[in-house]
Amino acid sequence: MNYGYKTPTEMRNQVSLIGKAVRLERIMNRKTKRTIIVPMDHGMSVGPIKGLEDMKAMVDMVAEGGADAVLGHLGLPIYGHRKSGKDVGLIIHLSASTSLGPYPNSKVLVTMVDEAIKIGADAVSVHINIGDENEADMLQTLGQVSRECREWGMPLLAMMYPRGKKITDEHNVEYVKIAARVAAEFGVDIVKTNYTGSIETFKEVTRGCGAPVIIAGGPKKGTTEDLLQTIKDSLEAGGAGVAIGRNIFQAENPTKMVCAIYRIVHENWEVSEALKEMK
Pairing of the two strands 69-72 and 108-109: unpaired
Catalytic, out of 161, 175, 195, 262: 161
Pairing of the two strands 241-243 and 95-96: unpaired
Instruction: Confirm whether 169 is a catalytic residue.
Output: no
Catalytic, out of 41, 68, 132, 189: 41
Instruction: Confirm whether 86 is a catalytic residue.
Output: no
Catalytic, out of 20, 107, 177, 192: 192
Buried b (16+ CB within 10 A) or exposed e, 17-35: eeebeebbebbbbeeeebb
How far is it, in rounded angstroms, from Cα 249 to Cα 235? Answer: 22
Instruction: Confirm whether 195 is a catalytic residue.
Output: no
- Which amino acids are annotated catalytic? 41, 161, 192
